[in-house]
Amino acid sequence: MNKELHQGMSRYASLAQALLITSLLLCSGGLDLNAQISMSRLQPTSSLRAMEDPIAEGPIVLDHDEAYKCPVQGASDQGRYIFGYSFDSSFIYDRESKQYTIPSTGTRVIYVWDSGDAVVFVNQNSGGILPKGSTQVKSFTSPKADYPYVGPIYATSNTQYIIANLSNGGYHVLPAIISRSDAGTYVVEELPAPKEDLLGGEAQYTQARFCAEDGSIVYGVQVDWHGMFHRLVRWVRDSEGNYHFEGMLDDLFFNLQAPKPGPKPQEKDYITVPDTDPKYQEQLQAYHKAAQEWAKKVLARTKTVSFFSKKLQFSSDGNFICGAVRQAEDDETYTKEYPLLYDLRKSEAQIIRDMEGYCAVDVWGGQHLFCFTGAPPIGGSSVWSLATKKPQAFLKWLSARCGRDLKKDFTYESIDDLTGEKKEVTLPGYPTRSRGGLVITFFGLGQSEEHNARNSYLVFKKPFGTFIEEVQPREANLFGGYQASTRALYTSASGCQISVYDTQGILCFQGESNTEGVCLLPQSLTQGAYIITLVHPNKGNTSVKLHIDK
């Protein structure tokens, strides 16, 4: 593709949290790590009510031949059913019965409801509903005879709406929403989409991706004919039930005041003679001139940051759109990638430029943005705190939330693809949180040539992201003291993970003690009471109350 055309373009704390932390502070008896105690030893306060271990079970590896073939994709809303799929195979695991359901070849499980019924995509056919315990798919019926295949891609947890795209077997698709009638049947409705893109040419396709739980808004993407410029779009339902198409964040990625360049000039429209004809060179030069003029108009119409729709995802709580953008460099090639987060509640978008190379995947507890880089499962994962604006390695972050070191649970032997030798790896893989928050699944690296994946899951007693990451005082003397003048928090070892919460349960700071066992709390912490949790590398964890004076 022409270099001038931007080459290379192509997831608040809850009331329960607040009440819990407030009660902790009120009943703690006022343990104070103030300057006057300087370097004295501290004991966890006995009146500080400790929270139980949040993990109910796991991590547990999914031990089945089909589960070793397919990446795990997630769990049903309340976590009873875990499912995974690859191009032509799938599995559904029922945690209660401990039984696996293996759909027929060519069937992909898109989502499983808490009832056990599944939404499936069927290769070279229409997808549909696979009832629990059945092998027969109840196929969807397309309203378009020339686009007979219905490909579901997303389903709401309440079973009322399914997002799909209609296909004729080719690359072009039509967006659609499937609604459940009072009789329990599903009706497919094509969504309106303009043929023209923001450049003034014909759109290659407009695709629906996901929707609000009540079906009132459908989100999707539009891609120009050449696949270079992606656009975030949505369909909004009016009071009469009709959907209307509109763009999102257009002014972030396009210069809307610049004229549309229109369709790209085609060589066949300029060159009408063979290359042996005397007029050939003249016609070729005319074509090149027209193409260059068009390229200049494209550059004027577009900005140096571009939306990347292939990594678009809906957060598990339904409040955020997660994805990525690409940034053009001096040579006008899109090379750098950054997470994109759009808050649907505030209608605000932010590009997180401190996380270069990562894509936003999900938001947990309204405060923690999970990001991933590379190709799952071997890429890197990190958590960006929306409160502190700082990242932390995912496994350390998860261990701190759970009050235990999970490193050993995700350390195992795997076969090196290059040497064929066994090697020990520590890799949680690609995590996916169930919408209800009770289960997190992990797509990990396979342990042999026969096993393409190592899928596992964690089950929580309460929805993950809604409880305060507070841990039991299993070990005394993990805190060594606090020096108010320097805001130095002393611990009993290096590598202790420190989390600081305010009285509303909002995470204010995360850090780690250095080689001398010291963690400096930031000056941005204002006067008031805080709860500090500490996870020791190998001696357990504890919590204390800290009052900061300024």
pLDDT tens-digit readout, 236-273: 999 999 999 999 999 999 999 999 999 999 999 999 99
Which uninterrupted H or E stretch holds 401? helix 394-402
Among 266, 258, 260, 259, smallest CA distance to 291 is for: 266
Dump pLDDT digits (tens) for 192-247.
Answer: 999 999 999 999 999 999 999 999 999 999 998 888 889 999 999 999 999 999 99
CA separation for the pair 191, 193 (Å, rounded): 6
In this structure, are residues 367 and 270 in contact, taking their beta carbons and an 8 Å threshold?
Answer: no
Look at residue 75 and tell me whether its pLDDT is greater than 90: yes
Query: pTM for the full model?
Result: 0.75
Q: Is there a domain that residue 533 lies in?
A: yes
Alpha helices in 275-320 (DSSP H): 280-301
Q: Is there a domain that residue 41 lies in?
A: yes
Average pLDDT over residues 26-47: 34
Among 57, 97, 89, 47, smallest CA distance to 72 is for: 89
Which uninterrupted H or E stretch holds 397? helix 394-402
Tell me how far the alpha carbon of residue 179 is from its chain's centroid.
25
Q: Is there a domain that residue 308 lies in?
A: no
Based on its alpha-carbon atoms, the radius of gyration of the chain, rounded to whole angstroms, reads 27
Dump pLDDT digits (tens) for 297-342.
Answer: 998 999 888 888 877 999 998 899 999 998 887 655 657 889 999 9
Q: Is there a domain that residue 304 lies in?
A: no
For residue 55, what pLDDT is reported?
84
Query: How many domains is the chain partitioned into structurally?
Result: 1
* Residue pointed to by tokens 């005319």: 286
Average pLDDT over residues 396-422: 79
* Distances 498 to 141, 313, 494, 539 between C-alpha atoms, Å: 55, 31, 11, 14
Q: Is there a domain that residue 35 lies in?
A: yes
* Residue pointed to by tokens 């759009």: 342
CB neighbour list of residue 12: distance below 8 Å, 6 or more residues apart: 366, 367, 506
CA separation for the pair 130, 128 (Å, rounded): 7
Dump pLDDT digits (tens) for 94-125.
Answer: 999 999 999 988 889 999 999 999 999 988 78
- Sign of the torsion angle spanned by Cα atoms 331, 332, 335, 337: positive
Three-class HEC string of 324-381: EEEEECCCCCEEEEEEEEEECCCCEEEECCCCCCCEEEEEECCCEEEEEECCCCCCEE
CA separation for the pair 438, 460 (Å, rounded): 5
Average pLDDT over residues 51-62: 79
Look at residue 51 and tell me whether its pLDDT is greater than 70: no
Average pLDDT over residues 359-384: 83
Look at residue 63 and tell me whether its pLDDT is greater than 80: yes
CB neighbour list of residue 40: distance below 8 Å, 6 or more residues apart: 481
Q: Is there a domain that residue 39 lies in?
A: yes
Cis ω on the peptide bond leading into residue 522 (within 30° of 0)? no
pLDDT confidence tier of residue 48, bands split at 50, 70 and 90? very low
Average pLDDT over residues 352-357: 90
Q: What is the average pLDDT score of the chain?
A: 81
* Residue pointed to by tokens 């500490």: 534
CA separation for the pair 527, 251 (Å, rounded): 41
DSSP state of 196: B
DSSP state of 513: -
Q: Is there a domain that residue 513 lies in?
A: yes
For residue 400, what pLDDT is reported?
76
* Residue pointed to by tokens 């997660």: 322
Q: Is 254 helix (H, G, I), strand (E, B) or coil?
A: strand
* Residue pointed to by tokens 């990446």: 71
Average pLDDT over residues 149-161: 94
CATH number, domain of 37, equals 2.60.40.10
DSSP string, 213-230: TTSSEEEEEEEETTS--E
User: What percent of the chain is modeled with pLDDT above 70?
Assistant: 84
In this structure, are residues 421 and 408 in contact, taking their beta carbons and an 8 Å threshold?
Answer: no
CA separation for the pair 34, 28 (Å, rounded): 16
> In terms of residue numbers, what domain contains 30?
22-51+469-548
**Rounded to 5 degrees, what angle do the CA atoms 29, 31, 36 make?**
140
* Distances 6 to 229, 290, 353, 473 between C-alpha atoms, Å: 9, 18, 20, 55
Q: Is there a domain that residue 181 lies in?
A: no
